[in-house]
Amino acid sequence: MIKRLSAEFIGTFWLVLGGCGSAVLAANFGGDGNPLGIGLLGVSLAFGLTVLTGAYALGHISGGHFNPAVSIGLFAGGRFPASDVLPYVVAQVLGAIAAGWIIHQIATGSTQLVIDLTAPGAFASNGYGELSPGGYDMAAALLCEVVLTAMFLVVILGATDRKAPAGFAPIAIGLALTLIHLISIPVTNTSVNPARSTGMALFAGSGAMGQLWLFWLAPIVGGVLGGVAHRGLKG
């Protein structure tokens, strides 16, 4: 169990460091119009790549969840024991917080990078209403996070099924997360992962912390729905 929890800590750390780090440090590098900035497409790809590489590196140790909603969804889908859910969630949240701290330390080391914590999506945080990158309200954010997390679990459970092609699951999961970000960055700055949201909100000011509840509730509900849906399809 210690090895599995360590793998979940490292994997979630890598997910947040790679995905959120790219959003904070590289998305708008040099300002608008600078070809070195990776933008929405680059950030979406970064999240997909972290999951893909993390799953290949650590999946054989812990299963490569890196996300409380995934652990809970796998339990709902009958693929993960209830007794392991809480330890996994704790390890994932701690990994995300560690990554958030590292990103914060790096970001504050620049004299050119200025982060306005009152701006939508500040410090790669998630939000709705005034804190939504596209100004989407709470209902839209809730629906978006629930549906996309549910579909993420359907992909994960399907790609890792024993009847699925062996060895390709991390690719499918990574591409699914990339697609999810392409859809929902304008809506909520994309969570589908309560640990990721927590790790960045702690450093993004009171506004992000005040809305954090939605980015626990919606992904968990979506994870359960996705797990139950796949279980029903499998009979």
pLDDT of 103-145, one tens digit each? 999 999 988 777 878 888 889 999 999 999 999 999 999 999 9
Average pLDDT, the chain: 94
* pLDDT(29) > 90: no
Distance between CA atoms of 26 and 46, rounded to whole angstroms?
11
Confidence of residue 194 (pLDDT cuts 50, 70, 90): very high
Mean pLDDT for 196-223 is: 96
CATH of span 2-234: 1.20.1080.10
Distance between CA atoms of 187 and 49, rounded to whole angstroms?
21
Whole-model pTM: value is: 0.93
Q: List own/partner pairs for 104-108 with CB under 8 A and 24 or more apart.
A: 104/203, 106/21, 106/25, 107/24, 107/25
CB 121 within 8 A of CB 135: no
Task: State residue 126's pLDDT score.
Answer: 97
pLDDT of 139-149, one tens digit each? 999 999 999 99
Residue type for position 208: A
pLDDT of 35-83, one tens digit each? 677 889 999 999 999 999 999 999 999 999 999 999 999 999 999 999 9
* pLDDT(196) > 80: yes
Distance between CA atoms of 78 and 96, rounded to whole angstroms?
26
Rounding to the nearest 10 degrees, give the CA dihedral for residues 187, 175, 49, 23: -10
Domain map (residue ranges) of the chain: 2-234
Task: State residue 166's pLDDT score.
Answer: 83
